[in-house]
Amino acid sequence: MLKRQNSDARKPFDSITISLCSPDDILDRSFGEVLKPETINYRSYKPERDGLFCERIFGPVKDYECYCGKYKRIRYKGIVCDRCGVEVTEKKVRRERMGHIKLVVPVVHIWFFKSLPNKIGYLLGLSSKKLESIIYYERYVVINAGVKEADIDFMT
């Protein structure tokens, strides 16, 4: 016979994290940090260095050719250019490689927020509208309202 657990006995928690990968996993899979919001240089039509399409991070745009053109052809396969830092390999690695962006504040992935039912709202006991206003910084949640006067220990 199955025993039913008491659902009223809930354990308090300090925080909860839902993620597709842990931050360490993301950094391990990353080939570099994206530092600039630029994508392509409008004069040369080449990806900007440290931008969203950077060849150093994601791989070359042309097969077996580095960014600066020092190494061309398959005989230099696997070599990292000392001028531009691009690995000489096939261009299809751009589909597999991943970069990362370091952010100052935590963000909420749209899959967790906009999916039905709202998983974050369900876990926190908040409606979708209240949660949306918190996510977009229209409202905030006070976790620790302050310290009681009795808890303050003055040095005498």
Task: Give the C-alpha separation, 90 to 59, whole Å.
Answer: 8
| Inside any domain, residue 16 | no
Shared domain check, 119 and 94:
no
Tally the domains of the chain.
Answer: 2
**C-beta of residue 34 within 8 angstroms of C-beta of residue 52:** yes
| Inside any domain, residue 146 | no
The last residue of one of the domains, among 76, 102, 128, is 102
| Inside any domain, residue 36 | yes
Which of residues 16 and 109 earns the better pLDDT score? Answer: 109
**C-beta of residue 73 within 8 angstroms of C-beta of residue 33:** no
For range 51-55, the mean pLDDT: 93
Shared domain check, 109 and 82:
no
Is the pLDDT reported for residue 5 higher than 90?
no
* Average pLDDT in the chain: 83
Is the pLDDT reported for residue 100 higher than 90?
yes
Is the pLDDT reported for residue 150 higher than 90?
no
State if pTM tops 0.85: no
DSSP annotation of 79 reads: P
Q: Which of the given ranges, 9-18, 100-109, 119-128, has the highest pLDDT on average?
A: 100-109
If pLDDT is split at 50, 70 and 90, which confidence band does 154 have? very low
Shared domain check, 98 and 111:
no
Shared domain check, 118 and 81:
no
Please give the residue range of the domain that contains residue 47. Answer: 24-102
Which of residues 22 and 71 earns the better pLDDT score? Answer: 71
